[in-house]
Structure 1
């Protein structure tokens, strides 16, 4: 029996983000991509993070970028578009004896017919 997916859908990882992280299929919308990227951070899947980041904004990623102890993901809202989409989320992490959240409004675009993460926006569009 597989464990629960880190992205918070309540599905098993094999029935959720594991399909994307293993390369069996690719997310067909920005929210699914954002959830799978969160799971990639949890599982340390740097190749997946690079593959799903827009080439114009993708930084160099190393295992040093994966030391955060992520606790849970809350999707606040998402806005679907034909060529670009936006997802607002809170990714909770452990900081010593307290929980903190990375709160981001993220821009995703279609690039070569696949959704990719572009970067944070200053405000909801």
Structure 2
């Protein structure tokens, strides 16, 4: 459990309580794909499975179980984002620990407006 004054896992530099906790707790919903991306990283970091399901497009959401969230995510870098009216793209790099060695993954992600809320759809190849 992350303490409210701890820095947010999404690497925004803000306290968790003033950043992604607003979304993970249901007090607000992200109004852009980049903010959704950051909140999803925090959800992966904290093991918030219900939020991940809620923020994933139902057509592409896999069957997630708690064991899928064992990775220790350490930091996030949003490289660039392109906000559109109905679909958006976010390119990011996420770091994680495996056998006490830090590794990273790189993804360009597609987000769409679904029922008036931004949701993660899928990774795409390359920048549009």
In the alignment, is residue 88 of structure 1 matched against residue 88 of structure 2?
no
CA RMSD, Structure 1 to Structure 2 (Å) = 0.9
Which residue, 2, 5, 10 being the options, matches 2:5? 2
Deviations 1:76-107 (A, max 9, x none): 10001000000000000112242211100000
Q: Secondary structure at the match of 1:117?
A: strand
1:39 corresponding residue in structure 2:
42
Gaps of 5+ in 2: none
Q: How does 1:4-83 map to 2 (within 5 A)?
A: 4-83=7-86
User: TM-score, normalised to structure 1's length?
Assistant: 0.97
Counterpart-to-counterpart distance in 2, 1:71 and 1:3: 14
- Structure 1 unmatched runs, 5+: none
* Runs of 4+ that moved beyond 2 A: none
The aligned length equals 125
Q: Which segment is superposed worse, 35-44 or 89-98?
A: 89-98
